[in-house]
Structure 1
Amino acid sequence: MPEVEVKLAVHGPFELPDLGTVEGVASVEQGAAQHLRATYYDTDDLRLARNGITLRYRSGEDDGAVWTVKLPVDGAAMVRDEINIEGSGNSIPRPAADLVTAFVRSASLSPVTRIQTRRRRWSLLNDEDGAGTEVVDDEVSVLEGSRVVARSRELEVEDKGAGHDVLLRISDVLQEAGAMAEEQVPKAVRALGARAAAAPDVVPPKKISPKDPAGRAVRGSLASGTYRMMANDPGTRLGGEDSVHQMRVAARRMRSDLKTFGPLVDEAWATSLETELKWIAAALGEVRDLDVMQARLRKAGGGMEESLDPLFASMDSKHDVARERLLEAVRSNRYVELLDRLVEACHEPALTEAANKQTCAEALPPLVNQAWRKLARQARSLRPGDPDEDFHEVRISAKKARYAAEAVAPSLGKKIGKQANNFASRCADVQDVLGTLQDAVVSAGMVKHLAAEHRNDGPFSLALGRLLERQEHNAREAKQSFPKVWDALDKAKNLEWLITA
């Protein structure tokens, strides 16, 4: 669950002020003091700490000793996801090790620091629903063996349901009393020092110039995709639908980008990575496609939920099987090897001579133009009565053109980059309309298959018939919408940058 807290530094003589006067606080209750003993685990090069992640085993909690993994929430300095896992302190439980696989990869985990904390704590409750905020005063000792090598004192103000505004008001009162704002980093990172605060293995580039060698765009694309895949790996293992989606998009984009950057990268090296990315994208896609289809059919089946129970039970069973296959894939050595290769590729991609000789402005627009020409050739000849498969091929080409434009846009400067992003947005509109068509076609096919198997089940068969009608209606609407979104894309003003950049 998300942990939302503010950390404040304090020195010896600090005394907690009266927090009962803070707006939103009706009562203050002091809890029993705790003596916490924590061992933190990481790789030799501190891969977890450098990514803002902590893995610890801690005793002294009210509910007994527990393993905890804390994961950063993107863009939220005060928020981390906290996952508690039962297990003895003799070895790291598999669920805990699983959650940090993308960051540890083929390295080994071992204890890197031990911390003892003497904790005083207070619960601050409101007078409405009993929701509250917890304030703790921690005296922290960092140990090497049995020797204390560093001491510090800090306050933590954690939201327990009272809300962000109350948390900030309490923080302000504490600072007025002498507490000091400090960088929001875990105790372990502070204990481990500068090495723990170093950059992680994969950092998406902040800026690439049109005058830079085109190889920098390749590195930037791989870094963005690898970062996205790693960041969504823990959520995927925990069953998060959006994490599965984001991780699949990352794999698909990197595979597409390697094809786009074909003249700039070694063919055999790129093909090998594409193969592995296709493999993991397929495992993710099995789960994601069922998520999308089930949501679609549940919405379309409004008012017929009870009659459609056998349909959704069947889909749930398929989803369980697909999820088990996905977990098997991300727990495999093959996946870990892929991650290691991707991290290496972010730093040392196998580039061709052209990648080092040509600038981004010279090399990149023609690469997108290739994807555009294929899309234009297919889409301009498409007719309303053409097979669904032809529309699907146009959708795939639109997605490739979109991904290509989005891959190069950050490296083309403000003006051309804006044009590239606009082009990508128009491609996305085409992709979305044809994606709706494809989803309707696939859903209709599954409904037809089930209907054939349940001809004698009256209520279920009737509900399937109505569901099929709705999917076929959606497919017709999508086909009718295609000319409008295609015409909006196929304009000279959207394509000028492909030639003049």
Structure 2
Amino acid sequence: MTINETVEVESKFEVDDDIAVPSADAFAPLVADGPEEYELSAVYFDTDDLSLTRHKVTLRRRTGGDDEGWHLKLPAHAGRIELQAPLGDVVPDEFLSAVAGLVRRRPLAPVARIDNLRHVHTLRDDAGTAVIEFCDDHVSTEAFVDGGSAATWREWEAEIVDPARPDAHAHLAAVAAACTDAGAATSSSSSKLARAIGPLPDAGDEGASPVRDALTRDLGKLLDHDPAARRTTIVGVHQMRVAVRGLRSTISTYAAELEAHTAGTDLDLPGLLDELKVLAAVLGKLRDIQVVDERLGELAAGYPEDVVSPQTRHRLRAELDVEARRAGERVTSALLSDRYLDLVDRLHDLVGVAGGSTAKSGKKKRREAEELMLSGVDRQFKKFTKARTRTERDLAELDLTLAEWEELTHVVRKRAKALRRNVNALSGTDELTVAPLRDACQRLHTVLGDVQDSVTARQWIRRIARRAETARESTFGFGVLFEHERGFSERALDGFESDAAAVTAAYRELSESRRAARKRRKKGKKGKK
């Protein structure tokens, strides 16, 4: 089956029935063709809990117009990716594979029908090239979800024809301005489907437990980026890996609490952690290659060709492209597997039992939730301190190579990252001083993260240089790149001890604010007696 792919970048506007379409002069310097009229009818599909809609994915079967067929719209860094397949009676297998993590073996059913009488004006430049497609839509909808109803409205859409065109976004902004000048208002809904369905029902009991809330956020982030990770995009792979690590951190930090909540169920926390570790490793392999590819490409470009030759640059690109393709295939295979779907099912089950509800409410409930999250910070800070103390002792007493130094500080980085995740779950209040610890953890994580990227880059440089040497190519340029990365790491590590000390100082500041808050609360209680 032929699948067409486009990037959709558009602006949407709400408009009253009595407002006229902007005049041709309003779109200048673009010239308007048309209008052409189309009668469109689309049925939208989703799971019973509207998982696709929740994660900003749209699946529809549309008739009418010049692009009738199956359409799948996926969120992207800029705009949306739209996949199109020929009209048929069933959802294309390629589309099901693209959203498998969101659907999870569950049936898809119609959730809404949207009919649209569309008038299309093609806006062209002075060379006759189509730049913007302006649509005047008269919409009627029927929602099939609980509480759904019928509705009608009018809206305008302005969509870029070729997002790669350098001046496309400037033209879109000018058309948008013409629309608002004519009396339209920027749409309050992200899509026709979102407006047809209305507000989504709550997915869970938010606030019942801070542990459940943390798991829900991490699982939601994993699923938000699942479609992009399947497409092996840089952002999708990175953000999904971050979410996986967040889940591992939350489960590990609150293992004692979660063990109590999962007692009597078939949920196996150590098994979940192992599966998440495997998934993180698969994503990490591709992520590391993507980072190194971008890093070394920029680094090589900064040297003249008589230092880093075109042959060296070509080999770097070719070798990393092959490795990225292989790693990407492993990611796609892993995310299509029953093993992954089973993992996502179990994570949903864990969210369902984590924390439970409580009869407590108001200030006491918020305080207990805060104390639980602070206990997680305390646990992670103890692990951070242990790693920091051991590392600084070895740095002072042993004659370490750079590689040994990097390995030791990498452990500290992982502890700082886990601590940062727990700190980020805290809400800054007038009583608690949270921001300094959050900032200090972020600074240390960033510095040591750059060091680890340099370590990975040097590993790849050595590997590719050996292949180049076997092919009797000059390896001088690889040596230059290697030494550049080595120097970068040494300079970055110079500030390690002060950055690590800043984390400890910030934790003490948080602890002091906690003690002061407790004293104020005790004093307040005595005053009421």
TM-score, scaled to structure 1: 0.82
1:305-354 per-residue CA deviation (whole Å, 9 max, x = no partner) reads 5222223322211111110010011111222222233233334216799x
User: Does 2:374 correspond to 1:365?
Assistant: yes
Pair 1:331–1:222, CA change in 2 (3 A): same
Report the more deviating stretch, 247-256 or 448-457: 448-457
The corresponding residue for 2:450 is 436
The corresponding residue for 1:224 is 217
Cα shift at 1:138: 2.9
For 2:24 and 2:75, the matched residues in 1 are separated by 31
- Among residues 394, 402, 416, which one is paired with 2:409 in the alignment? 394
User: Does 2:242 correspond to 1:249?
Assistant: yes
The corresponding residue for 2:11 is 5
**Residue pair 1:39, 1:113 contacting (<8 A) in 2 also:** yes
Secondary structure of 1:445's counterpart equals helix
**Residue pair 1:420, 1:497 contacting (<8 A) in 2 also:** yes
Pair 1:488–1:44, CA change in 2 (3 A): closer
Secondary structure of 2:44's counterpart equals strand
Secondary structure of 1:201's counterpart equals coil
**Residue pair 1:37, 1:114 contacting (<8 A) in 2 also:** yes
**Residue pair 1:20, 1:28 contacting (<8 A) in 2 also:** yes
Pair 1:415–1:144, CA change in 2 (3 A): closer
Secondary structure of 1:6's counterpart equals strand
For 2:143 and 2:495, the matched residues in 1 are separated by 67
Secondary structure of 1:91's counterpart equals coil
Q: Which runs of 4+ in 1 moved over 6 A?
A: 350-353, 355-358
Pair 1:357–1:42, CA change in 2 (3 A): closer
The corresponding residue for 2:283 is 284
**Residue pair 1:379, 1:394 contacting (<8 A) in 2 also:** yes
Report the more deviating stretch, 449-458 or 332-341: 449-458
Cα shift at 1:295: 1.8
Alignment of 1:253-332 (within 5 A): 253-266=246-259, 269-302=268-301, 303=304, 304=308, 306-308=310-312, 309-332=314-337
Pair 1:330–1:462, CA change in 2 (3 A): same
For 1:290 and 1:370, the matched residues in 2 are separated by 33
For 2:233 and 2:460, the matched residues in 1 are separated by 25
Pair 1:234–1:416, CA change in 2 (3 A): farther
For 1:352 and 1:186, the matched residues in 2 are separated by 34
For 1:46 and 1:245, the matched residues in 2 are separated by 25
Structure 2 gaps of 5+ residues are 1-6, 161-167, 261-266, 515-529
Cα shift at 1:185: 4.8
Cα shift at 1:9: 4.6
User: Does 2:136 correspond to 1:137?
Assistant: yes
- Among residues 365, 383, 391, which one is paired with 2:395 in the alignment? 383
Q: How many residues align?
A: 473
Secondary structure of 1:266's counterpart equals helix
The corresponding residue for 1:184 is 189
- Among residues 153, 171, 178, which one is paired with 1:170 in the alignment? 178
Pair 1:109–1:415, CA change in 2 (3 A): same
Cα shift at 1:17: 4.2
The corresponding residue for 1:406 is 421
The corresponding residue for 1:68 is 71
Pair 1:316–1:50, CA change in 2 (3 A): closer
Cα shift at 1:83: 0.8
For 2:21 and 2:376, the matched residues in 1 are separated by 63
The corresponding residue for 1:496 is 509
Pair 1:374–1:190, CA change in 2 (3 A): closer
For 2:98 and 2:204, the matched residues in 1 are separated by 18
Greater length-normalized contact order (CA 8 Å, ≥ 6 residues apart): 1
Cα shift at 1:421: 3.8
Percent of aligned pairs with the same amino acid: 24
The corresponding residue for 2:157 is 157
The corresponding residue for 1:472 is 486
Cα shift at 1:157: 2.4
For 1:15 and 1:277, the matched residues in 2 are separated by 54
Cα shift at 1:27: 3.0
For 1:158 and 1:120, the matched residues in 2 are separated by 12
For 1:424 and 1:189, the matched residues in 2 are separated by 35
Pair 1:265–1:143, CA change in 2 (3 A): closer
**Residue pair 1:59, 1:66 contacting (<8 A) in 2 also:** yes
The corresponding residue for 2:98 is 99
Pair 1:382–1:352, CA change in 2 (3 A): farther
For 1:118 and 1:364, the matched residues in 2 are separated by 53
> RMSD of the alignment, in Å?
3.5
Cα shift at 1:224: 1.5
Alignment of 1:324-343 (within 5 A): 324-343=329-348
Cα shift at 1:459: 4.2
1:30-65 per-residue CA deviation (whole Å, 9 max, x = no partner) reads 132112232322223433334443211223232x43
Cα shift at 1:455: 3.5
Pair 1:174–1:337, CA change in 2 (3 A): farther
Cα shift at 1:479: 2.9
Alignment of 1:34-45 (within 5 A): 34-45=38-49
Structure 1 gaps of 5+ residues are 209-214
For 1:37 and 1:188, the matched residues in 2 are separated by 13
Cα shift at 1:413: 4.3
**Residue pair 2:52, 2:102 contacting (<8 A) in 1 also:** yes
Cα shift at 1:266: 0.7
1:251-310 per-residue CA deviation (whole Å, 9 max, x = no partner) reads 011101221223322187432321222122111111101011122222332342522222
**One-letter identity of the residue aligned with 1:496:** E
Secondary structure of 2:122's counterpart equals strand
1:352-410 per-residue CA deviation (whole Å, 9 max, x = no partner) reads 99x99982343333432333233332243141743534543433333333433432444
**Residue pair 1:137, 1:153 contacting (<8 A) in 2 also:** no
Cα shift at 1:222: 0.9
The corresponding residue for 1:198 is 200
Pair 1:144–1:437, CA change in 2 (3 A): closer
For 1:153 and 1:433, the matched residues in 2 are separated by 52
Secondary structure of 2:88's counterpart equals coil
**Residue pair 1:221, 1:407 contacting (<8 A) in 2 also:** no
For 1:389 and 1:262, the matched residues in 2 are separated by 32
User: Does 2:51 correspond to 1:47?
Assistant: yes
User: Does 2:434 correspond to 1:448?
Assistant: no
Secondary structure of 1:323's counterpart equals helix
For 1:99 and 1:37, the matched residues in 2 are separated by 24
For 1:129 and 1:375, the matched residues in 2 are separated by 63
Pair 1:55–1:473, CA change in 2 (3 A): same
For 2:143 and 2:472, the matched residues in 1 are separated by 72
Pair 1:172–1:429, CA change in 2 (3 A): closer
